[in-house]
Amino acid sequence: MYDLFIRALPLLKTAILVTLGLGISSFILGSIVGMGVALMRNSASRILNVIAFVYVSIFRGTPLLVQILLVYFALPSYGINLEPIPAALLALTLFSASYLSEIFRAGINSVDQGQWEAAESMGIGYWTCLRRIIWPQAFRIALPPLGSRFIALMKDTSLASTVTVVELTRVAELIGATTFRYMEMFLMVGIIYWVINQSLTLLQVWLEVKLTRHMK
């Protein structure tokens, strides 16, 4: 296997960067979109609430693979042509945002309603209250599912190979096709995914300990 690893190393280096870039970028962008959707779900406006509900329902209720294929192959029919990486990033972002919005909403709603009322009685505005009082508490509550979602998203980047994005899974397919050593190649890539996700798990545990230390 070592000789195969050396042969694949140049492509694997690039593929790891692409995989990490897709995973981290879609998580950050998905968090921004997801927070907006979560606030819409909690909004007093029925229109905003319905829009957010429909968005979450569609993107959580359909397979990510179908969404990636639609973005890459269907959007050009409407004059929107995206390269493989931007197309995969868009699909991953929209998909992750639907899940992250529910995690954020659950975290915000878990904070005692009395804190909103207390802030209002002191003349603290909605956004200031959300940013300085509610969100720090909600984030600590939401951290475990956020970490799990990030790890799942990192594995979901493998589906980008279906639109020719040269990430880890695509490299395994390419090298496997030229050497006919599919078992070793996919095992190698599986180990790399495991190392990445185990590192993220350790980071999540460290953050949980750091953020909850004063609460013990």
- pLDDT for 12-62, tens place per residue? 889 999 999 999 999 999 999 999 999 999 888 999 999 999 999 999 999
Write out the chain in H/E/C secondary structure. CHHHHHHHHHHHHHHHHHHHHHHHHHHHHHHHHHHHHHHHHCCCCHHHHHHHHHHHHHHHHCCHHHHHHHHHHHHHHHCCCCCHHHHHHHHHHHHHHHHHHHHHHHHHHHCCHHHHHHHHHCCCCHHHHHHHHHHHHHHHHHHHHHHHHHHHHHHHHHHHHHHCCCCHHHHHHHHHHHHCCHHHHHHHHHHHHHHHHHHHHHHHHHHHHHHHHHHC
The answer to whether the CB of 174 falls within 8 A of the CB of 161 is: no
pLDDT of the residue at 47: 94
Please tell me the predicted confidence (pLDDT) of residue 214: 57
For position 4, what pLDDT does the model report? 82
pLDDT of the residue at 122: 84
Domain ranges of the chain: 2-215
Closest CA to 50 of 58, 59, 41: 41
Alpha carbons 89 and 163: distance in angstroms, whole number: 11
The pLDDT value given to residue 72: 93
In this prediction the pTM is 0.89
Q: What integer pLDDT is reported at residue 215 of this predicted model?
A: 54
Distance separating the N- and C-terminal Cα atoms of the chain: 48
The whole-angstrom separation of Cα 22 and Cα 98 is 17
What is the per-residue pLDDT for 175? Answer: 87
> What pLDDT tens digit does each residue of the chain (216 aa) get?
777 878 778 888 899 999 999 999 999 999 999 999 999 998 889 999 999 999 999 999 999 999 999 999 999 988 898 999 999 999 999 999 999 999 999 999 998 888 888 888 888 888 888 888 888 888 888 888 999 999 999 999 999 998 888 888 888 888 888 888 889 889 999 999 999 999 999 998 888 888 776 555
- Cβ-proximal residues to 65 (8 Å cutoff; 6+ apart), any chain: 159, 162
Tokens 């995690």 label which residue?
103
The domain defined by 2-215 folds into MetI-like fold (1.10.3720)
